Amino acid sequence: MSQRFARLNSRFPRKRAFITGASSGLGLELAKALAGDGWTLGLFDRNLERLTSVEAALADAGVSLVAYPGDVTQADELTVAVNSFAATHDGLDVMINNAGVASAGSLMDISLEDWRWIIDINVMGVVHGARAAVPHLQRNGRGLLINVASAAAFASAPGMISYNATKAAVLSISETLASELHSAGTQVSVVMPTFFRSALLETLRGSDSARALAHTLMQQSEYSAESAAHDLLTASADGRTYIVLPKAARTMWRMKRWMPMRFLDQVRRMAQR
């Protein structure tokens, strides 16, 4: 068995992790990466067909896991699943709030229905996951909560207003929880990747032109979901609160913090090309 994440394994020798949005994209790569190091997994996803397929493939490979069909917008479903996993395995070490969707369009382009849809999944899904997991993480005295946001949380590119807003909310929630949970020994990390190849665009809501642009940007990316999974697990094991991926994107993060107006001007010019 591999030990690609030796530091994470050392911090959490019981190796118990729960992942939302686990049947495809980044969630699936996170599951495969942890499974390779012998972790016991709780996998949560609303796509029953994909989840069943992933469960069968990993179980056949000897992975210890429990699959939970459910929707992150339903607090009771997610809480029951997390509680069940923690009860079955005498605790929980790592919770990864990964489930998310995308949308594109300006303020007036996006319907109120689509605003509610993306907020329910991207924001409230993280809230529900954190509320379900935090009691178990606190009980351990050294838990890890990982919230997957996006570089959109700070880049605020035009034409992505609802997606930007939800990912900025995940960033703020994570920063707040990092302070609130510090005394309990629970680490909170927020992951902010730029475009990488994943299944995110399958659920994207927006115009045909917005979908085409997003597809082009994703296909042009040389960064993969597998690399993102490896990098975020390594960085979180090192104790980082802010995880901006890939490494080249950290220049954007620093520029936004140090020269915000210049950064926004640059983003605006890029969007106009």
Q: For the chain, first and last CA: distance in Å?
A: 48
Let me know if 163 is a catalytic residue: yes
Q: How far apart are CA 91 and CA 68, in angstroms?
A: 17
Active-site entry in 68, 163, 223, 242: 163
Residue bearing tokens 């709780």: 42
Q: How far apart are CA 172 and CA 178, in angstroms?
A: 10
Pairing relation of β-strands 40-45 and 144-148?
unpaired
Backbone angles phi and psi of 9, in degrees to 5: -65, -40
Indicate the residue type of 146. Answer: I
Q: State whether residue 105 is helix, strand or coil.
A: strand
Residues designated as active site: 163
